[in-house]
Amino acid sequence: MRVWFESSHLSGDFLERELRVRVCWEDPGRQTTLVSDMAFEVPPSFHVHNDLVAAALMLLVGSHYSEVAFNFPISSKCAALLRRAYTLDDVGPVAEDLEPRQRGRYLGLCLSGGLDSMAVWLLLRRALGDDFRVLTAAFGDGFAFEQQGYSQFRRDVTCRTTLRRHGLPYGVRMVFVVPLLFADYADIGALTTGHHFLEVPLSIDSLRDGQRPSFLDEDISLHAGGVDEVHIARALNAAGLLKVGLSAPLELQEACFYGAAPRGTLKHFDKGLALRILYAAAGRPRPAWLEDIAPPRAPTQFGGSAPRFFSLFIMQRLGPAAMRPAYSDIDCYDLDFLTDMSLAFMERYNTNLTQYLPGALRAPLLAAMHATGLQPYAEQDWAELDIIRRYNQALSSGCAPLRAEAGCAGLRSVATGQESSRNADLL
């Protein structure tokens, strides 16, 4: 199947402060259907290399198409990298004489306004001072809550866009669309986000045997636009990022707490509980806004494919009942094994992942982590990571240990004898 992109940047005229993009797809019979018509607010002085536009637009559709066409030419280097990143049969048009986009001078932070990107901002301020760029996409509508967070920061780019009003098959890497479009304007050479250890694309192996983390394969999608990706938060879990955030002024923490997720969502609830845990561990009185945590409006199931590292961390500290408002089936799971664990690795950094920080940034960023109380994994942390990783695999396969109560029997997906033997191996 073929997808077709039309971008208005080709005119070079931005006096109306708008860049428009149309996305169409063609079926095997070459019948064209308009999928999306979106707008990005840009300044009159806006400028962008074709390779950046191509790299940004491909993030809207991912690997759902085998043929891609633009209404503008791209460099042969960009085309080769896009083919590799998205397993494309064809992409173009290609202008052999077009120079690839050259990297800029600055690291750019994709700032959503939530607690995770706030934590990375704090680390960068300690490591680099103000010598980095801050870029925000203002999605509006159902994402207007994010403004509570990002409005607290000095930003080099804030782009209002209708991007999220359209039903395109983009994923978590959609956050890079606006930063890629503005990479020339903001002189960006590399980008970083608040995406941590448990973000998609998931790469939760311990890597102790030296294997390469799979999330690095996703960097190619940015390389097509002449941009690197710096994986700062990947070495941390959500609890570690929250621990960094405790060094921020209370007003900033509050704004980013409400900028991270709406009330009544799991993200609002579990981050609030985790912050309470961290405030208590630090011996600090928790702020008034942490007294008002709303439970999820729609509880979900604890079992399934979603990794539950963060929930297990909360339940290890507060007990399984703490997550009862979030998971309707939590009382059916045997979580007694948590009492013999510390889960301290959730508040530390993974040295198998910090090795992928760029050489010039590694030392100042590690110093910034240490200054906020983060420490590297200890030997016990690697062992506990293995246990929690295997437990999550058991959850996703439906064979995690259950309690014996009759009301839990319906959750069992394998025969009791099989389940018992498999669980013995897991834990």
Residue pLDDT, tens place only, 42-70: 999 999 999 999 999 999 998 888 999 99
Residue with tokens 């039309």: 6
pLDDT on residue 407: 67
Contacts of 392 (CB under 8 A, 6+ apart): 204, 307, 308, 309
d(Cα 70, Cα 6) in Å, to the nearest integer?
6
Taking only the tens place, the pLDDT of each residue in 276-323 is 999 999 999 999 999 989 999 999 999 888 889 999 999 999 999 999
pLDDT at 8: 97
**pLDDT value at residue 50:** 98
Strands 2-7, 18-26: parallel, antiparallel or unpaired by DSSP?
Answer: antiparallel
The side-by-side arrangement of strands in the sheet containing 32-41 is: 32-41, 18-26, 2-7, 67-74, 90-94
Sign of the Cα torsion 208, 214, 215, 217 reads positive
Q: Is the pLDDT of residue 246 over 80?
A: yes
pLDDT at res. 421: 35
Q: Which residue has the higher pLDDT, 305 or 396?
A: 396
Residue indicated by tokens 């294997």: 211
Within 13 Å and on the Cβ side, how many CA atoms surround 122?
A: 27
Burial 194-225 (b: 16+ CB within 10 A, else e): bbbbbbeeebbebbeeeeebebeebbbbbbbb
Confidence of residue 205 (pLDDT cuts 50, 70, 90): confident
Question: pLDDT at residue 424 above 60?
Answer: no
Tokens coding 237: 């879990």
pLDDT value, residue 170: 65
pLDDT over 70 at 155, yes or no: yes
Confidence of residue 131 (pLDDT cuts 50, 70, 90): very high
The b/e string for 342-375 (b: 16+ C-beta within 10 A; e otherwise) is: ebbbbbbbbebbbebbeeebeebbbebbeebbbe
Dihedral of CA 120/124/126/129: which sign? negative
**pLDDT surpassing 60 at residue 426:** no
Kindly tell me the sign of the dihedral angle through the C-alpha atoms of 241, 246, 251, 252. negative
pLDDT over 90 (residue 122): yes
Between 42 and 212, where is the model more confident?
42
CATH topology (fold) of 2-94: Nucleotidyltransferase; domain 5 (3.30.420)
- Percent of the chain whose predicted confidence (pLDDT) is above 90: 79
What is the mean pLDDT of the segment spanning 271-278?
A: 98
108 pairs with which residues across the strands? 133, 191
If one compares 328 and 408, the residue with the highest pLDDT of the two is 328
Structure tokens at 31: 């019948």
pTM of the model: 0.93
Task: Specify the domain boundaries for CATH 3.30.420 within the chain.
Answer: 2-94
- Return the amino acid letter for 111: L
